[in-house]
Structure 1
Amino acid sequence: MSAPSVEVRLVKAGRTKIRYPAELVEDNGDRITVRAPWAGAGAGTRDFGFVRFEPGDVFTEYYWRTRWYAVKEVRAGDGTLKGWYCDITRPAVLDGGELVVEDLDLDLWVSADLSSVLRLDEDEFEESGLAARDPEAADRAVRALDELELLARDGELTGLLGHTGS
C-alpha cells in the first residue's frame, strides 16, 4: 500500500509561489512530515553558491502547526545528506489533501556537517513590509529564525526532527 499523497502549496505575499505533490510520511497532530523530489526552479539545478539543488535530490520536509518555521532535509539522489534548508513560515495548515504554508522570506541554511549556518534573505524580509503590515508576525518570524539558528549552532536541529544524525 502506498503512502498517502498531499499537495504542498507554498504561498508568498498572498500568492501561490509553488505547488508540488509530496508523500505524507507522518502527521503526529503537530508536526507534518512529507517527502518529495526537488521541485523548485522547474526542477532544474539551482546553485546557491553554498549548495546545489539538483534533479534527483529528495527533500524530507517537516512542517508544524504550532511553530513559525519549516525544516527541509536535503539529500542527493544517492542518499548523501547535503544539509537543511529552513524556511520561516506561519504555522502550516493541512486541509484535506493540501498542505498550505505561508513563506515569510527569512531562511536558514545548515550544512550537513553543521560547520556552516547561514542566515538568508534578511533583505527580502525587510523589503516585504511585513513589519509594517503585521508587526506581531514579523516579530514571530525573527524569533523563529533566531531559534533555528541556535538549535543548529548547538547541534540540536536533528533532535527537533525526531532523529539523531544523518
Structure 2
Amino acid sequence: MSANPADGPARVEVVLVKAGRMKIRYPAELLGDDGTRVSVRAPWAGQGVRDFGFVRFEPGDVFTEHYWRDRWYSVKEVRTSGGALKGHYCDITRPAELSGGRLVVEDLDLDLWVSADGTDVRRLDEDEFAASGLLTTDPEAAAAAVAALDELDARAREDGIGTLLA
C-alpha cells in the first residue's frame, strides 16, 4: 500500500478464495480502513460481460467494495461507467484479512443481489452452498454464513443495504 499521498492513491490486491483455491485477484484503490471495515474501489474484474438475467456486469462498471474483519459478508456497490447505481451485490464470506497490501476474502458460495431501487432482492447460489459440503466439514462456518445471508436479506427488505455503508 502506498503511504505517501504524492505517490497516488493507496492500492491493494483483492484476492478472492473459494474452496481453498484462488478464484480471482485484482488491483483496487484503497478508500479507507477503520480497523474493522476496509473499503476499496475497482473496475469490473471479470472477463467481458456477465449477464445474470436481472443485472449485467460489464467492462466500465465500477465496484465500490466493503469488507469487514468481524462480519461474514462483503457488500459491493455496482455502478455503470457513467455513475448510475445498478445495485448491491453481497457475497457471504469469512471475515476479511488485510495484510501486506493483500485483502484476502474466502467466498462461501451464498450471495444476495439488491437492485438499485431495492425492489428486487434475490438470494443466490443456495444450491452451490448446499453442494459445497460446508454444512458437514465446518458446521459453525455454515451456520454463520446462513445467519449472515438472513441478516442481509432482512436489512435489504427493511432499511436497505445502503445503511451498512454510511
Output the TM-score relative to the length of structure 1: 0.95
Tell me by how many angstroms 1:155 deviates.
Answer: 2.6
Alpha-carbon contact 2:44-2:60 (below 8 Å) kept: yes
Superposition RMSD in Å? 0.6
Aligned counterpart, 1:15: 21
- Name 1:110's counterpart in structure 2: 114
Query: 2:45 is matched with which residue?
Result: 39
Aligned with 2:133 (options 116, 129, 134): 129
Q: Residues of 2 paired with 1:37 and 1:158: CA distance?
A: 20
Query: 1:65, 1:91 within 8 Å by CA — same for their partners in 2?
Result: yes
* Rounded Cα–Cα distance in structure 1 between residues aligned with 2:109 and 2:151: 16
Distance 2:90 2:54 in 1: 14
Confirm whether residue 81 of structure 1 aligns to residue 98 of structure 2. no
Aligned residues: 160
Per-residue Cα deviation, 1:51-75 (whole angstroms, up to 9, x for no partner): 0001000000000000000000000
Where 1:126 maps in the other structure, the secondary structure is: helix
Aligned residue in 2 for 1:61: 65
Gaps of 5+ in 2: 1-5
Same amino acid, percent of matched pairs: 70
Whole-angstrom CA distance in 2 between matches of 1:160 and 1:50: 23
Match of 1:155 in 2: 159
- CA shift for structure 1 position 3: 1.2
Q: Which 4+ stretches in 1 moved above 2 angstroms?
A: none
Unpaired segments ≥5 residues, structure 1? none
TM-score normalised by the chain length of structure 2: 0.95
Q: Name the CA distance, whole Å, in 2 between partners of 1:104 and 1:28.
A: 24
What is the CA deviation profile of residues 27-69 of structure 1, one whole-angstrom value per residue up to 9, with x for unaligned ones? Answer: 01000000000002x2x11000000001000000000000000
Secondary structure of 1:18's partner?
Answer: strand
Q: Is the 8 A contact 1:69 1:89 kept in 2?
A: yes
One of 137, 143, 146 as aligned partner of 1:139: 143
